[in-house]
Structure 1
Amino acid sequence: MKRACLLSAGIAIATAIPASGQMPKTPPGIADTRRIAAGTYAVDPGHSQVTFTVNHLGFSTYRGMFGAVTGSMTIDPKAPARSKVSIVIPVSGITTTVAKLDEHLKGPDFFDAAKFPTARFEAVSIRPSGKRAKISGRLTIKGVTKPVVLDAVFIGAGTMMGKRTIGFDATTTIRRSDFGVSYGIPLVPDLVPLQISVAFEKPEP
């Protein structure tokens, strides 16, 4: 398991860095909103993830991750409040450091991934403030849809390997019982913080 995790990390790093002949001298992404180009972008699933943290029986903080996130964003830097964001999260690919726990989380006690393989977030309104924004939207897990608010921050924009790229981080906290994921409460808390990191990209014109 440890070797598999190290291999996955190595692959992720390798796909994030261009071949040696194309290595940029400085990071192509810069936290400058003037570098944001208008248009419709697709989520880069190789560099986007949703993570969660829970308290484990009062002893430690435990983390899990959803990778291979997909979705889209339409943005106009002159009117950011009119942006549209849609994110699809493959809960069937949930990953922790324990294979047996992964299978339990995919089962009926938690996400029931065989019946509900994805979760989805759809933005309803966006209130930008400089490099930050409050994104109100609808989160659907296990077929249950509830309102949530994301605290988002712009990370950077630029061009890499022929694609315009924009990155954002966001956080929120959900009450998992609202979505029918009640197993283990209160031994495992009902309130679950989520951390979202998404890169959007589109080909250069």
Structure 2
Amino acid sequence: MKRIALAAALSLFAASALAAPVTYKLDPTHTDVIAQWSHFGFSNPSAHFGQADGTLVYDADDVAASSVEVTLPLSGLNAFVPDLTKHLLAADFFDADQFPTATFKSTGVEPAGEGKLKVSGDLTIKGVTKPVVLDVTLNKAGVHPMAKHEAIGFDATTTIKRSDFGVDAYVPNVSDEVKLRITTEAAAAE
């Protein structure tokens, strides 16, 4: 009887440990934010925002208890065309000397189907904060095969209007709407 009671207690403890929210640290080498826009209708250039720093808390049993907070140093911006990268960092666009980071802080997370989430939050660019909603897909959660630690990965998309953030040079010829695609991998915080 004592063994059965002990086994039951251990299984309840293990289940509650698995159900607890887990805090993860973003892996900047496996996180990329990609912005894409129309250039006079002729092309759809993109820029990558690397060097992301942040944390996410994920609760698989109660996704509403999940959250994310990310800082993107604009020093990590790369359009892979040196003159375009330099122009994007200039006062016409991000004014990175005065506003060196962009940030996102979630205000709510809700389930949106199997492996899908809606993450609402405040996006701050160039000192202006606006609400956005990310459509998120959980790619995988589990033990990372190389690093041997708990890891999680997500992809997300949204569309924003750059004029909402004062990054409106050349609108409408250079599209006001910017598609954002995000991929991230994070390791459980120790």
The CA deviation at 1:36 is: 9.0
> Aligned ranges for residues 67-82 of structure 1 at < 5 Å?
67-82=50-65
Structure 2 match to 1:151 = 135
Structure 2 match to 1:55 = 38
> CA-to-partner distance for each residue in 1:58-109, whole Å, 9 max, x for gaps?
1111111001111001122111111111111122221012101111110110
Structure 1 match to 2:14 = none
Question: Percent of counterpart pairs with the same letter?
Answer: 45
1:97 and 2:80 are equivalent in the alignment: yes
> Aligned ranges for residues 63-142 of structure 1 at < 5 Å?
63-128=46-111, 129-142=113-126
The CA deviation at 1:125 is: 0.8
Q: RMSD across aligned C-alpha pairs, in angstroms?
A: 1.6
> Aligned ranges for residues 23-38 of structure 1 at < 5 Å?
38=21
Does the 8 A contact of 1:162 with 1:203 survive in 2? no
Q: TM-score, normalised by structure 1?
A: 0.79
Runs (5+) with no aligned partner, structure 2: 1-17
2: CA distance, partners of 1:54 / 1:70: 24
Deviation larger for 74-83 or 114-123: 74-83
2:134 match: secondary structure: strand
Runs (5+) with no aligned partner, structure 1: 1-34
1:178 and 2:161 are equivalent in the alignment: no
* Structure index of larger Rg: 2
Distance change in 2, residues 1:66/1:37 (3 Å) = farther
Q: TM-score, normalised by structure 2?
A: 0.85
- The amino acid that maps onto 2:109 is I
